[in-house]
Amino acid sequence: AQTVTQSQPEMSVQEAETVTLSCTYDTSESDYYLFWYKQPPSRQMILVIRQEAYKQQNATENRFSVNFQKAAKSFSLKISDSQLGDAAMYFCAYRSAQWGNTGNQFYFGTGTSLTVIP
């Protein structure tokens, strides 16, 4: 099974500054999808950004962008101009694009808790 590793259990950032959350994954597949989810104290799981492995261009969504390094199997999330509302737990997730068992499941990291300091 694929594994997803988030090596930073906790991170903090000053309001308006930039922070990068790291994620690495282990796979032998060439085609897959990667996601970042945000979980605020309300407990909702909110999709932040997604990346297709076949795309070389890094995905961006407003203040959120990723640094996707396929060869290094790295998928970091950069949050620019951090806001108080960005404080949350962030999860990285992997999904195979293939049929069968590998494509049925999403694999999640253990999460990074982000604190935004006013």
Strand-pair category, 64-69 with 60-61: antiparallel
Alpha helices in 1-118 (DSSP H): 101-104
Tell me whether residue 68 or residue 118 sits nearer to other proteins (CB atom). 68
Tell me whether residue 37 or residue 68 sits nearer to other proteins (CB atom). 37
Tell me whether residue 12 or residue 104 sits nearer to other proteins (CB atom). 104
For residues 48-62, one letter each, b for 16 or more C-beta atoms within 10 angstroms of the residue's C-beta and e for the rest, the string is bbebebeeeeebeee
Paired tokens of 20: 């990068």
* Residue 42 Cβ vs other proteins, minimum distance, rounded to whole Å: 8
Residues making contact with other proteins (CB under 8 A): 9, 33, 35, 37, 42-45, 47, 50, 52, 91, 93, 95-99, 101, 103-106, 108-111
